[in-house]
Amino acid sequence: MNKIERVDRVLNGEEVDRPPLSLWYHFGIQHAGGEQFARITLEFFKFYDFDFLKVMNDYFYQPPQGLDAVKTKEDLKRITPFDADQTDWRQQFKALEHISAELKGKAYFIDTVFDPWQSIRRNMAGENIEALMANEPEAMLEALDIVADNLIAYCKKSLAIGTAGIFMSVPAAGELMSRENFLRFVKPPAMKVFEAISGLGRMNTAHIHGEDLYFDDVLDFPVDIFNWWDRGPKGPSLQWVKERIPGCVMGGIDQKIVARTTREFLKNHVREGIELGGKTRFFLANGCSSDSWGYPPSMLAIVDAAKVAGK
């Protein structure tokens, strides 16, 4: 069974010899161009011989020119529609084109984006995000809607290049925000993006980010796969989610321990993760990004343990 066949069978709800595996972390080379990023990403994929590739995306949402911080209603109004090809995302498109050419017919890859709320928070509003939601809610909602449209345009181009699905990170946890703010400011624009790309990729994935998750509130996202920190202290479990969705789950590996435990421990951890995921509708992967300074033999131990499960 090759990499594409294994993924297709899981997506179709069929049993496989073993669950498809991938791992990921941030490479920290967002200062470089798309060609270099593609080269390192493909080297990473081939070295560990993963079944599918999650392409990271560290080219941030580009803020309005000359605006160092979004702090006011007027600042929010400066967030307008743009051409993704005229932003730093053009480097991601270059990377995706190289990756698509290299992996065509060999393996699927998925592309990463951050939901509209995170796109505004990360490098535009930052420390001002709570005050903006409290003091300028309508302007915030209007800005989020525009960011969602820009993200939709980005996602559609990514999928047209050859991406098998969009992996969108959505913060949905009590330690990150109140449930009221999640339902008002995060979920609607995220839902808008997911709905716009539904059916355009085979592996559209909702990464539900955080620890104390509002999981009941995200189960209606129209995606093919859910990914979250299932082996964290608060779960929920892979089985709990599988019972509530028609699609697939992705997890089973605690990203917090990949760089901090022995190879023996990791092999046992993988075997446990595979048992937790079950025989169908399950992708084996980390629940969130692992540490970039991990020990390569430790990651290879994870790969080896996963492959042994199929023998």
Cα 170 to chain centroid, rounded: 8
Please write the tens of the pLDDT for every residue from 15-50.
999 999 999 999 999 999 999 999 999 999 999 999
Please write the tens of the pLDDT for every residue from 270-307.
999 999 999 999 999 999 999 999 999 999 999 999 99
Spatial CA neighbour of 288 closest among 37, 59, 24, 47: 24
Cα 67 to chain centroid, rounded: 28
Q: What's residue 291's pLDDT? A: 96
Domain that holds residue 230: 3-308
Q: How confident is the model at residue 103 (pLDDT cuts 50, 70, 90)?
A: very high
Q: What's residue 247's pLDDT? A: 98
68 Cβ contact partners less than 8 Å away, ≥ 6 residues apart: none
Average pLDDT over residues 252-265: 97
Separation of alpha carbons 266 and 252, rounded Å: 11
Separation of alpha carbons 114 and 311, rounded Å: 37
Sheet holding 225-228, edge to edge: 21-22, 282-286, 248-253, 225-228, 205-209, 165-171, 109-114, 53-55
Q: What's residue 267's pLDDT? A: 97
For the chain, strand residue ranges (E) read 21-22, 53-55, 109-114, 165-171, 205-209, 225-228, 248-253, 282-286
Q: What's residue 8's pLDDT? A: 98
Task: Please determine, for residue 185, whether its predicted confidence score (pLDDT) is greater than 90.
Answer: yes
Q: What's residue 282's pLDDT? A: 98
Residues pairing with 228 in the sheet: 208
Q: Which amino acid is at 195?
A: E
Q: What's residue 311's pLDDT? A: 73
Q: What's residue 91's pLDDT? A: 98
DSSP 125: I
Average pLDDT over residues 68-95: 97
Q: Give the CATH number, domain containing residue 151.
A: 3.20.20.210
Separation of alpha carbons 281 and 227, rounded Å: 12
DSSP 60: P
Q: Alpha helices of 129-223 — where are they, by DSSP H? A: 129-135, 137-161, 179-181, 187-197
DSSP 211: S
Please write the tens of the pLDDT for every residue from 218-247.
999 999 999 999 999 999 999 999 999 999
Average pLDDT over residues 85-113: 97
Q: What's residue 270's pLDDT? A: 98
Average pLDDT over residues 73-91: 97
Task: Please determine, for residue 119, whether its predicted confidence score (pLDDT) is greater than 90.
Answer: yes
Dihedrals phi, psi of 18, to nearest 5 degrees = -165, 155
Q: Provide the domain count of the chain.
A: 1
The answer to whether 261 and 269 have CB atoms below 8 angstroms apart is yes
Separation of alpha carbons 281 and 12, rounded Å: 8
Average pLDDT over residues 126-150: 98
Task: Please determine, for residue 310, whether its predicted confidence score (pLDDT) is greater than 90.
Answer: no
Average pLDDT over residues 94-119: 98
